[in-house]
Amino acid sequence: MKTKVLVTCAGSAPGVGVIQALKNQSEIEIEIVASDSNPMSAGFFFSDGSLVTPTINHPNFISFILDFCKKEKINIVFPILDEELQLFADNQAQFLSNKIHLVTCSSEAVRLANDKYKTCELCKQHNILVPDTYLKEDIDLMSDEKFPLIVKPRYGRGSVNVFKVTNKDELNFFVNYIPDSIIQKYIQGTEYTIDFLTDEDSLPLAIVPRERIEIKAGMSVKGKTVKDFSLIKFAEKVISGLRLSPRGNIQCMVSDGNIYLIEVNPKFSATISLTVAAGVNIPLYLVKILLGQKIDKRLIEFEDGLCMIRIWKELFCSEKLNKNNEKQKEIKR
């Protein structure tokens, strides 16, 4: 019997990455439905079925997804993007009561990860190194020797509205430009994203560090896997301290031999495809776990030094297909 899976935000890089990870394997028979509010989402081209949904901020977004899952007998839902993670986590009981599994961290873990200041404060309690972090009201503590600094949203995603400032004039401007901003010491070093997978007891099964060689618009376009055991141990400490499960990614910076946590993300990274190509198909492992299969940690290995170069790729569809999807979108709203 096929396992039916719904992958949301099918037009995003992580959405496409998850769809392809589940599609390009032969271990489990999986039927993939891709959903997105945009009828021209790239993930629709790689899936077995598609669903045009209301936008995430629509009051009926969750009920729309749940009704569809019940009707189509969906077994597992993969929420993808930041904006919807809290929504799904808060409504997890509704899905489970209908025997639909959500691949999501707990509501508390998602809420903590979305609050960058609280994340830093909790990290300090667990002796996890983070950049010196301040709130707007601490701005008078910023002496000249503390520059350069980073100003970014306390509640935010990726590199949106993240600014490097080099003096007090710039600092004063950006803390007022960004509501609910935090201020951090700028760390110069090598940046890594660490993908992870845990078992049903929240114990790490797989940890895959990746160096972010080149970044554009906050997304890695060149990267490579790195089997660095200091990074792996660091990730284990973060996963345990912040109670992250069952999947996510950790962004950190290595500077002068120290590893600084930059942020945690209770979601798939935009470059999950590199981790999958290196031999650790995290989306597939999650399906196996939810189907009751035991995963032997000792059998999970990844290829060290595998490089990724991301390119643009065009997809083409008929105007008729797009018009049909637009019509479907209007009806379902």
Name the domain count of the chain.
3
- Do both 192 and 153 map to the same domain? no
Residue 280 tokens read as 């650790």
* Four-residue CA torsion sign, 122, 126, 132, 137: positive
CATH number, domain of 244, equals 3.30.470.20
Which of 185, 200, 225 marks a domain boundary?
185
Domain annotation covers residue 196: yes
- Do both 93 and 136 map to the same domain? no
- Do both 161 and 218 map to the same domain? no
- Do both 143 and 193 map to the same domain? no
Domain annotation covers residue 272: yes
Q: How much is the average pLDDT of 135-139? A: 91
Could you tell me which of 78, 174, 184, 172 has the C-alpha nearest to residue 130?
A: 184
**What percent of the chain has pLDDT above 90?**
84
Confidence bin at 201 (pLDDT 50/70/90): confident
Q: Contact at 8 Å (CB) between 206 and 197? A: yes
Domain annotation covers residue 326: no
Please, how many CA atoms are within 13 Å of residue 295, restricted to the half-sphere of its CB? 24
Tens of pLDDT, residues 78-110: 999 988 999 999 999 999 999 999 999 999 999
Domain annotation covers residue 323: no
* pLDDT value, residue 324: 45
CATH number, domain of 71, equals 3.40.50.20
Tens of pLDDT, residues 5-20: 999 999 999 999 999 9
- Do both 145 and 223 map to the same domain? no
Over the range 88-112, which residues count as b (16 or more CB within 10 Å of their CB) and which as e?
Answer: bbebbeebeeeebbbbbbebebbbb
Domain annotation covers residue 314: no
pTM of the model: 0.93
Segments forming the whole domain that contains residue 212: 188-309
Which of 88, 105, 122 marks a domain boundary?
105
Question: What is the rounded average pLDDT for all residues in the chain?
Answer: 93
Sheet containing 133-135, strands listed edge to edge, beginning at the edge strand earlier in sequence: 133-135, 181-185, 149-153, 163-165
Tens of pLDDT, residues 41-55: 999 999 999 999 999
- Do both 243 and 171 map to the same domain? no
**What percent of the chain has pLDDT above 70?**
95
Q: 172 versus 143: which is more confidently predicted?
A: 172
What is the bridge-based pairing of β-strands 258-265 and 101-102? unpaired
Tens of pLDDT, residues 230-286: 999 999 999 999 999 999 999 999 999 999 999 999 999 999 999 999 999 999 999
Sheet containing 204-216, strands listed edge to edge, beginning at the edge strand earlier in sequence: 258-265, 247-255, 190-198, 204-216, 219-225, 307-309
* pLDDT value, residue 220: 93
